[in-house]
Amino acid sequence: MAKILLFDALREATDEEMEIDSTVLVIGEDVGHYGGSYKVTKGLHAKYGDLRILDTPIAENSFTGMAIGAAMTGLRPIVEGMNMSFLLLAFNQISNNAGMLRYTSGGNFTIPIVIRGPGGVGRQLGAEHSQRLEAYFQAIPGLKIVACSTPHNAKGLLKSAIRDNNPVIFFEHVLLYNLQDEIPDHEYLLPLDKAEVVRNGKDVTILTYSRMRHHVIQAVDVLVKEGYDPEIIDLISLKPLDMETISQSIMKTHRVVIVEECMRTAGIGAELTAQINDKAFDYLDHPIIRLSSQDIPTPYNGSLEKATVINPEQIREAVKNICAVKS
């Protein structure tokens, strides 16, 4: 086991897959000589050259469309968005092309493409650079959506995403790139459609993903000392949701708190709530509690920005409130 930073884990995954499969390439702004905005592709241009590490103009719609076309011909492109917010410029290509072509071609084409990059609320990046687009893409048929949260799952998930024959939207949080974790020395893959039970417990199921995983762990560390026993599940797969793992947990705890950085209205938590009500409603002893970001553009002001995002104290309070209600 070796300790590694999250951005290095992503780089290792990319390098390993490029080394074993000559059809894998990277496309994006500053991914080549500069090594990527967050250094995920650092050193890869020198190793693989211009034809496999392609620096592009600032034109997300164009290079995303080009990558989808490349995927149709048998290549396995990785598109890096300098910021996931910028990929709104390529929403048409992602929706009408990447998501649909396998179906509209009657299965004649597969679209093995990974679209990855930083997102989420950073530190005073402003509204346009602090968007959470996971709910935007969740509504598109034909896509898989993954949110990594640790160096360990980042590497294993990215390798699996590159090998998958479907388009995968791969979300990384801008504030997690310098997170350090131990990962195995040997090769490993992680499933794209499975949630991770981070902590077993019996009092309440806390469902979360991405950076909020760490806020939840921080809150639970205090709650355990106070006598509570929460179960933590990192969703990881945002589409499809792993309802089997989620339902099994709810059958045990009978209470659910959802913690997300996404917007409350039509966010991941809203879809998760709907699916829980469809498939596990009879096991609930209390209405689902959703802790989500406020439905406003993220302020640039540091104090206001902090106030829009869920914090560990709010998580602790929600768990105490839901556990105080007798079944």
Cα torsion 222, 260, 181, 175: sign: negative
Contact between 236 and 157 (Cβ < 8 Å) = yes
Query: Kind of pairing, strands 196-199 and 168-173?
Result: unpaired
> Which residue is catalytic, options 12, 29, 60, 260?
60
Residue 194: what are its φ and ψ, rounded to 5°? -120, 135
180-193 in b/e form (b: 16+ CB < 10 A) is: ebebeeeeeebebe
User: Does the annotation count 317 as an active-site position?
Assistant: no
Which of 207, 205, 227, 226 is CA-nearest to residue 215? 207
Contact between 117 and 134 (Cβ < 8 Å) = no
Q: How far apart are CA 261 and CA 41, in angstroms?
A: 27
Task: Tokens 């995403």: give the residue.
Answer: 161
> Which residue is catalytic, options 17, 29, 129, 214?
129
User: Does the annotation count 129 as an active-site position?
Assistant: yes
Q: Is the peptide bond before 297 cis (omega within 30 degrees of 0)?
A: no
263: left (phi over 0), alpha (psi -120 to 50) or beta: beta
Residue 58: what are its φ and ψ, rounded to 5°? -80, 80
Which of 121, 44, 104 is CA-nearest to residue 78? 44
Q: What is the DSSP string of 177-192?
A: TT-EEEE-SS-----T
Give the catalytic positions in this structure. 60, 129
